[in-house]
Chains A and B, each alone.
Chain A
Amino acid sequence: MGGQGVLTAAEIIAQACLLQGFDVKKSELHGMAQRGGSVVTHVRFAQLGSVSAPLPALRTVDLLVGFELIEAVRALDWLSPQADAVLNDLLVFPPSSPSTTSLSREELLDAVKQRARKLVTVDADALARQAGNLRTASTVIVGAAAPLLPISTDNWHRAVQLSVPAGTHSVNLKAFEIGYSHASHA
């Protein structure tokens, strides 16, 4: 959802790919992001060779990083049959949705489990509080996704520092580590 730090999270991942020596393209849409609408960002990287399309074809995405459950389900058509999913365990109904909408957290998680090979969930807000700042929730989520990506710890740390506001490096690094260790033990 707009306002959750999706673009910053994708920036961290893209910078980490670049530091690791991969070719990378990161696709984002501005303007609407802060108005609470759906935000989808794609990061495509090639360990060898180069990336052509900034957008993937449907059913080819390897990793879904979801910041909210309804949005994660909205993105399921992107996933390849062997995809993994790292989800923030947060459900926020759109304010304009009709009051007759009844969707449970379990239904949404089930829909993801049917499409993803491996599912990791994380309570990003709770872990961000542990790190010391609620606004590091998006970095927690990146940390939780990191074990599934072929990038060194050093490069992750440098990428976080490159992508977050000055003065927030140490709290964000802490948030990253908390997310990482949570996912590694899951």
Chain B
Amino acid sequence: MTFTADRVLLSGNEAIAHGALEAGVGFATGYPGTPSSEILEALAEITSAPVEWAPNEKVALESAIGASLAGTRALVTMKHVGLNVAADPLFTAAYTGVNAGLVIVTADDPGMYSSQNEQDNRHYAFAAKIPLLEPSDSQEALLFARRAFHLSEQFDIPVLLRTTTRLSHTKCVVTAHPPQSPPPSPGLADDPQKYVMIPAHAHDRHISLLQRIIRLEAISNGDEFNHVQLGDFRLGIITSGVSYQYAKEVAPNASFLKIGMPFPFPVELVRKFAAIVQRLVVFEELDRILELQVRALGLQCDSKPDSMLVGELSPDSAAQVILGAQPQPSPTLSIPSRPPILCAGCPHRNVFFLLNKLNAYVAGDIGCYTLSVLPPLQAMQTCLCMGAGIGQAHGLSQVYAGDRPIVAVIGDSTFVHSGITGLINMAYNQSTATVIILDNRTTAMTGGQSHPATGRNLRGQPAPELDLAALCRALGVNRVTVIDPYDLAQLEATLAQETSANELSVIIARHPCVLLAGKTSGTLEFDPEVCPGCGLCLQLGCPALVQSGDEEGRPDILLATCSACGACVQICPFQALRIT
């Protein structure tokens, strides 16, 4: 691939990949998670170094630490909740420090566009005491990513690089440069006092950590990441990330203290800035992290209302907080919402249709199948975090004495991520619930990435394939059934049998994701003469079968959307539908 210093459009994620490449990164890993997934995908296209999907973020961070120990610069990427999974190694890695540079990307999701929460991962930097870098556009994402590896080595500490959805997925004009020749490797680290965290060693490393943070304060109070822009001194805005862009848009002539390194917090710089300006405003998205640090210094400042603790900010939020603009309500025609739904031909559809029919209590998990909670399928009662469906189903089944079948539903990638230990728990503590592993041969919702049970690696090359059925049996599950969810009759019989068995059972519902495998051959035909308008097929919530609005209640078939999976054909009691 040839590089020029030309202007190109890069998303924040692509820019991070380019920055890491320019820093000579030699090992990269993570777990897919919106909005971080494209970083590794972009990196894999521009380097021949190992770029891998790990089963989960904890394993990913640990393996990156291993690469760093061996003297290779390493990058780990994940979404915000992913850092919860990687938190165990994170906190202690701050103590040990690094050998070659180690950079961890946390991609937060203000507005929870595709997440279970909108936690603010800047807190992790303060809690773990590691430097935090927060770019405000793609060019900065590239520069900060490149610099982060050097900073990590210079101060012997992992560096947290924080992005948000709006930054990761916005394309900006960026100047990319050819990669530098890789830095000389520090070689293999052999220093047990630094890396083996028995209490005696950890005590000394904690003291060292506090000293390293004090030395980092010089960088934080310098100009490199935290930058004062002097403008009208009557208004001084402290802001960071994409919020800086919104504030700049509405108050371009104000004075700014643009924070690119929130931790260690630039105390001296903030004091100097506050002394220059008349009115100080702190404008930030999600939690009041910068604001509370400013107030802890005894400084007065204006800030956003509590309503802006929720969701993404915008130029309108900036206008409200900085200029005192009032939000204007706007009357528009009332229109139906259009939430995402399972694709036409999705193999999950039949499973949830039948679980609803069984009145099962479904402890669900994270993936495309979480969409089954929405009408008309409405077949999920709880979804908390990765792997939690299995954990919750166990707790439920140990004490629930009612009639509803307790069923855990989890995807193949999610199961490998954090469902295995939950299933061990169920076997060991003798649960009676039913676990359905929805095996569509991919990590679908995040864009169809591979995982250990798919038989291919991140680059699409062949890889050893984890045998899920054999694994379940090895964990001590006696009842393991593998079926094709496209076969409605067999699926219904299996569900009835396994949920009524008073023993732990696993059903692996295996059929490739329709976005991977494409449409089934054949064309759907509908005979309106035979259709009495019972509406049962519409209960599938398939985008190819919609209300026609005719008096009888018959459906409209959108042939261009239909994937000929046959679900509606099998459900129709009147044989009004068939595939030819």
Contact B242 A35 (CB under 8 A): no
Contact B332 A111 (CB under 8 A): yes
- Nearest Cβ distance between residue A20 and chain B, in whole angstroms? 12
B249 within 8 A of A: yes
B46 within 8 A of A: no
B314 within 8 A of A: yes
Considering only residues 1-45 of chain A, those with a C-beta below 8 Å from chain B are 1-2, 11, 14-15, 18, 23-32, 34-38
- Nearest Cβ distance between residue A23 and chain B, in whole angstroms? 6
B9 within 8 A of A: yes
Considering only residues 105-123 of chain A, those with a C-beta below 8 Å from chain B are 107-108, 111
Contact B336 A36 (CB under 8 A): no
CA distance A84 to B515 in the complex (A): 35
Please indicate the chain B residues that have their CB under 8 angstroms from the CB of A34 in the complex.
343, 515
Among A25, A32, A92, which residue has its beta carbon within 8 angstroms of that of B172?
A25
Closest to B313 in A: A55
- Nearest Cβ distance between residue A110 and chain B, in whole angstroms? 8
Please indicate the chain B residues that have their CB under 8 angstroms from the CB of A55 in the complex.
166, 246, 314-315
- Nearest Cβ distance between residue B110 and chain A, in whole angstroms? 12
Considering only residues 53-68 of chain A, those with a C-beta below 8 Å from chain B are 53-60
Contact B113 A35 (CB under 8 A): no
Closest to B368 in A: A35
**Listed stretches A94-102, A146-154, A166-174, A175-183; interface member:** A94-102
Contact A74 B171 (CB under 8 A): no
Interface residues as binary, B156-189 with A (CB distance below 8 Å gives 1, 0 otherwise): 0000000001110111110000000000000000
Interface residues as binary, B338-366 with A (CB distance below 8 Å gives 1, 0 otherwise): 11111100000000000000000000000
CA distance A72 to B171 in the complex (A): 23
B330 within 8 A of A: yes
B419 within 8 A of A: no
- Nearest Cβ distance between residue B563 and chain A, in whole angstroms? 12
- Nearest Cβ distance between residue B425 and chain A, in whole angstroms? 30
Interface residues as binary, B305-343 with A (CB distance below 8 Å gives 1, 0 otherwise): 000000000111001000000001010110111111111
Contact B340 A37 (CB under 8 A): yes
A103 within 8 A of B: yes
- Nearest Cβ distance between residue B260 and chain A, in whole angstroms? 16
B481 within 8 A of A: no
Please indicate the chain A residues that have their CB under 8 angstroms from the CB of B166 in the complex.
27, 54-55
Closest to B12 in A: A54
CA distance A35 to B114 in the complex (A): 12
Considering only residues 66-90 of chain A, those with a C-beta below 8 Å from chain B are 70-71, 73-74, 76-77
B117 within 8 A of A: no
CA distance A46 to B166 in the complex (A): 19
- Nearest Cβ distance between residue A35 and chain B, in whole angstroms? 3
- Number of B positions contacting A (CB below 8 A): 61
Given A53-B249, A57-B316: A71 touches B338 (CB 8 Å cut-off): yes
CA distance A73 to B9 in the complex (A): 29
Considering only residues 432-465 of chain B, those with a C-beta below 8 Å from chain A are 445-447
Given A57-B250, A95-B543: A28 touches B314 (CB 8 Å cut-off): no
B489 within 8 A of A: no
Please indicate the chain A residues that have their CB under 8 angstroms from the CB of B35 in the complex.
30-31
Contact B340 A103 (CB under 8 A): no
Closest to B546 in A: A95
- Nearest Cβ distance between residue A104 and chain B, in whole angstroms? 11
Contact B173 A32 (CB under 8 A): no
B545 within 8 A of A: yes
B198 within 8 A of A: no
CA distance A150 to B114 in the complex (A): 35
Contact A73 B332 (CB under 8 A): yes
Contact B374 A14 (CB under 8 A): no
A130 within 8 A of B: no
Contact A32 B338 (CB under 8 A): no
Please indicate the chain A residues that have their CB under 8 angstroms from the CB of B447 in the complex.
30-31
- Nearest Cβ distance between residue B45 and chain A, in whole angstroms? 15
CA distance A57 to B246 in the complex (A): 9
Please indicate the chain A residues that have their CB under 8 angstroms from the CB of B262 in the complex.
none
Contact B339 A94 (CB under 8 A): yes
Given A30-B38, A32-B113: A93 touches B249 (CB 8 Å cut-off): no
Instruction: Give 13 A-B pairs besides A2-B340, A96-B374 with Cβ atoms closer than 8 angstroms.
Output: A18-B8, A24-B172, A30-B447, A35-B343, A37-B341, A54-B172, A55-B246, A58-B330, A71-B338, A94-B339, A95-B541, A95-B546, A97-B336
- Could you list some 29 contacts between A and B, CB below 8 A? A11-B171, A18-B7, A23-B173, A25-B170, A25-B172, A26-B9, A29-B165, A30-B35, A30-B38, A31-B34, A31-B447, A34-B343, A36-B543, A37-B340, A53-B242, A57-B249, A57-B314, A57-B316, A57-B319, A58-B314, A59-B328, A70-B335, A73-B333, A74-B335, A96-B341, A97-B336, A97-B337, A99-B553, A102-B549
Residues of A whose CB lies within 8 Å of any CB of B are 1-2, 11, 14-15, 18, 23-32, 34-38, 51-60, 70-71, 73-74, 76-77, 92-99, 101-103, 107-108, 111, 134
3 residue pairs, one from A and one from B, having the closest CB atoms: A37-B340, A35-B340, A97-B336
